[in-house]
Chains A and B, each alone.
Chain A
Amino acid sequence: MIRIVDSLAIVRHLKSIFALLCLGLLLTAPAHAEDHIVTQKNKAFTVADANIKVGDTITFRNEDTVVHNIFSLSDPMSFDLGTYAPGETRQVAFKTMGTYLIECSIHPNMKLNVHVTN
């Protein structure tokens, strides 16, 4: 009898712990993380500026006729997407607040400012 009572108590505790864990995850995860598409076409980005939230992603989509190499050497986060051909995409998650200057190493006139806020 004592063992059964102990087991029930353990299960109740586990349920409470599980509930607390789920609540913690909900509190820390981005509320509405979005994916934004930025297209490369005619050796240019289709936008010059983008305002997104922490946790959002940008999908860089090459709709051009040439290869691009999108990169950033900005303080919040540096990245190099490598070269990718027309029709291909690359995605970047922006997990840190700040302003990012995003460029193409092959076509230096291509510039995109991304402002990441909470």
Chain B
Amino acid sequence: MKNLMDTGLKKNAKVITCFALVLATLCPGSPPRAQQTDPWLRPAEVPAPADNLPSDARILLGRTLFFDPRVSGSGFVSCASCHNPGFGWSDGLQTALGSGFHKLPRHTPTILNAAYGTLLMWDGRKQGLEDQALGPITSPAEMDMPVGDLIERLSHIAAYQPLFDAAYPGQGVSAETIAKAIASFERTVVSQPSPFDRWRMGDASAINTEAKHGFELFTGKANCIKCHSGFNFSDGGFHNIGIGDDDPGRYGILKLPAMRGAFKTPTLRDVALHSPYMHNGSYNTLAQVIEHYNRGGVQVPNLAPEMQPLHLTQEEETDLVAFLDTLTSPRTPVAIPPLPR
């Protein structure tokens, strides 16, 4: 038998931009770990593909498109209608509203830290931000704007032309430049240092005793870390956590038995801001979410083995919620750019 060891990695097609890591300012005392080595702290660099490296011009164009309702067929709905910065880049609804205000089957996921993901959407059907950007726009059930119509509409708005020229010189208005620009803006929607982060960087008073105990439970008895791991509190993976509805989830994309009813692990960054919770928005509060896990979920055939009754006390459940609340970034206003005429 031979144990294969890695002697050389295949080069990834995407080139990850390298920015200099900013060392955390350490408070007096003994910091548990430096920012660049603490797996619970977001890295300073945000990944971007080699053919769409970020620039001020690209981010400006993307921000403008993201907030422009004219990208929808109705001219009334923008990306920000569902990915509302005021609601943690979700919409505060149980499930999204689509074209004609018809209810869609799934809760709007936040776009916070989506830049760090590989597969996007609850069922992972999109591979990266560029791939995802035009999906909701062109979907008849959502923004109902065929891509040809979108290009024509934007091409007839004079003040958009210099924005496209600055962002993607010589490439004009196209599906590719529209998607790339939106993705460039979305790469700026990342979590900021929260009380939890300040605690990890050495400020012992940044979070209270209950939250610290909640983190111990999160990484121990409550078993959350099995899926909600790393700085983004998500393994980017797909699990059936026993919600008990008939949505096939990832199985609709990848026809493997293990994927029946499996959905992507969402980030817990700013989780207190983007309720309701779960793929169908079935829980309004974090306390209800914790109770779901404490029960071990609904006993469905494909339930993830990690889903077991936790036997948490009421105090432990409260402490877990206290910890989750510490993952909230400072809330700052988000400016809507002037829209081109």
Task: Name A residues whose Cβ lies closer than 8 Å to a Cβ of B.
Answer: 34-39, 43, 46-50, 59, 65-67, 69, 71, 80, 82-83, 85, 105-109, 113
Contact = CB atoms under 8 A, between A and B. Distances in A.
B9 interface: yes
Interface stretch (B62-70, B71-79, B209-217, B236-244): B236-244
A65 to B, nearest CB: 7
Nearest to A68: B258
B259 A67 contact: no
18 contacts: A34-B2, A36-B1, A37-B1, A37-B4, A47-B6, A48-B9, A48-B10, A49-B6, A49-B10, A66-B226, A66-B306, A69-B256, A71-B256, A82-B258, A83-B258, A105-B250, A106-B237, A109-B118
A34 B304 CA distance: 34
Contacts, number: 74
A39 B1 CA distance: 13
Contact of A108 (B2, B119, B229): B119
Nearest to B239: A106
Contact of A46 (B6, B119, B259): B6
A35 B2 contact: yes
A105 B4 contact: no
B124 interface: yes
A79 to B, nearest CB: 11
B8 interface: yes
Nearest to A71: B256
Interface in B9-53: 9-10
Contacts of A108: 118-119, 124, 236-238
Interface residues of B, number: 29
Nearest to B8: A49
Interface string B85-106: 0000000000000000000000
Contacts of B257: 80, 82
Nearest to B6: A47
Nearest to A59: B1
B338 interface: no
Given A36-B1, A37-B2, A48-B10, 7 more contacts: A35-B2, A36-B2, A37-B1, A37-B4, A50-B4, A67-B305, A82-B258
Interface in B190-249: 226, 229, 235-239
A103 to B, nearest CB: 9
B238 A67 contact: no
Q: 5 closest Cβ contacts across the A-B interface?
A: A69-B258, A47-B6, A47-B4, A107-B237, A36-B2
B334 interface: no
Contacts of A38: 4
B171 interface: no
Contacts of B238: 105-106, 108
A34 B2 CA distance: 8
Contacts of B262: 105-106
Nearest to A50: B4
